[in-house]
Amino acid sequence: MDAKRIAGERAAGFIEDGMSVGLGTGSTVYWTLMKLGERVKDGLRIKGVATSKATEKLAGELGIPLTDFSEVEQLDLAIDGADEVDGQLQLIKGGGGALLREKLVAANAKRFIVVADESKAVTSLGKFPLPIEIVQFGWEATRRQLEKLGCSTSLRMAEQAPFISDNGNYIIDCQFEAITDDAVKLNEQINMIPGVVENGLFVNMTDLVIIGGQNGVVTERGRD
């Protein structure tokens, strides 16, 4: 069985009747949603908050009921993927461009579970470019300030035009060297720059990581 499917389906087992659940975005969470759709058809009652328009669409097709933060004060659980996860359960997310909504959902959940295949497990964060969502106005100035933090940057493109997030913003992809030891400080530094909306560093947020491997092997890493 595919490693992403193994991890995604395992995470769906943590969802219980009556829960409000944050529904992530990406190729591994896809399998969580597929499994969840089956469970909903079998009678499971939940309400989901989607982290992207793509997830909203898929949830609708699967019959998964959706809500939003006007009706839910706090989520019981959020499940999402990651582009990188280190041994301290720190993450880089945002490769799909949904980092702002993903962080909002994760921050407002009692428990945050990350699903990934073993290729996403790293010793140090930073090989994957860090996505940073910024406002369109004055984006060049914001980019210059980001580069002062010691990274090389590129404006994310979609064909011949800048990529636009679900929130109407640009995304700058920043290539740092290994940043695990400085993740907390770097997260603060980035978010202090005017024009930055949010960044893809998820620090001290993850409660459990489910990693799918070959031949059906699943590894779970929780907070100590």
DSSP string, 147-159: HTTS-EEEE-EET
Helix H or strand E encompassing 30: helix 29-41
How far apart (Å, rounded) are the C-alpha atoms in residues 88 and 181?
A: 10
Q: How many residues does this entry show for the chain?
A: 224
Does residue 133 sit in helix, strand or coil?
strand
Partner residues linked to 134 by β-bridges = 170, 196
Tell me the one-letter amino acid at 166: D
To the query of whether residue 102 is one of the catalytic residues in this protein, the response is yes
Q: Which of these is catalytic: 102, 159, 177, 220?
A: 102
Contacts of 67 (CB under 8 A, 6+ apart): 20, 47, 48, 49
User: Which residues are known to be catalytic?
Assistant: 102
